[in-house]
């Protein structure tokens, strides 16, 4: 009797699926497999937060300014050569001369001017970063007023 009940239940399904027992097996096991997925817990939601940190970079003291010691310049021509040699001999005790052409002097002046420009540009960059790293004081703060 048990066999008759089984064939009674499966025969209409088998006829419906075109007689294939494999299709019947897949049809019966699919809901079981799908129900296994229902028991899974969903993955937790990932929350991304951004935190801004204040930079704590100490601002260094600026270096001491450059002070050039005085340099004695002599312009020597054919007319005053003997006189200037005697003056140098009396001041220093020996005669040593460094000479430069007028074009060399011009190039030296251009180079020094370019060096000054470079130093000023570097100072501007340093001032920019110092200002960027200095914490801002609130405008309501009385210590920021310029009248003090």
- Alpha-carbon gap, residue 148 to 144, rounded angstroms: 8
pLDDT at 67: 86
pLDDT at 122: 93
Structure tokens at 50: 């951004």
pLDDT at 147: 47
Share of the chain above pLDDT 70, in %: 74
- SS3 label, residue 60: coil
- SS3 label, residue 53: coil
pLDDT at 83: 93
Whole-angstrom CA distances from 127 to 59, 98, 112, 122, 123 are: 10, 39, 23, 9, 6
- Alpha-carbon gap, residue 79 to 89, rounded angstroms: 18
Token pair 């009396």 is at which residue?
Answer: 90
**What is the model's pTM?**
0.46
Intervals of the chain under pLDDT 70? 1-20, 24, 36-39, 137-148
Half-sphere exposure of 68 (CA within 13 A, CB side): 3
């Amino acid at each position: 009797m048990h066999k008759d009940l089984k064939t009674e239940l499966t025969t209409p399904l088998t006829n419906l699926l075109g007689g294939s027992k494999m299709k019947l097996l897949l049809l019966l096991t699919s809901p079981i497999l799908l129900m296994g997925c229902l028991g899974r817990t969903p993955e937790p939601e990932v929350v991304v937060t951004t935190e801004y940190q204040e930079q704590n970079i100490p601002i260094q003291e600026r270096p001491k300014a450059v002070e050039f010691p005085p340099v004695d310049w002599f312009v020597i021509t054919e007319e005053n050569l003997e006189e200037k040699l005697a003056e140098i001999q009396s001041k220093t005790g020996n005669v040593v001369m460094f000479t430069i052409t007028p074009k060399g002097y011009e190039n030296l002046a251009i180079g020094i001017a370019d060096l000054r420009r470079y130093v000023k540009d570097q100072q501007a960059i340093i001032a920019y970063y110092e200002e960027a790293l200095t914490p801002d004081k609130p405008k309501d703060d009385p210590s920021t007023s310029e009248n003090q």
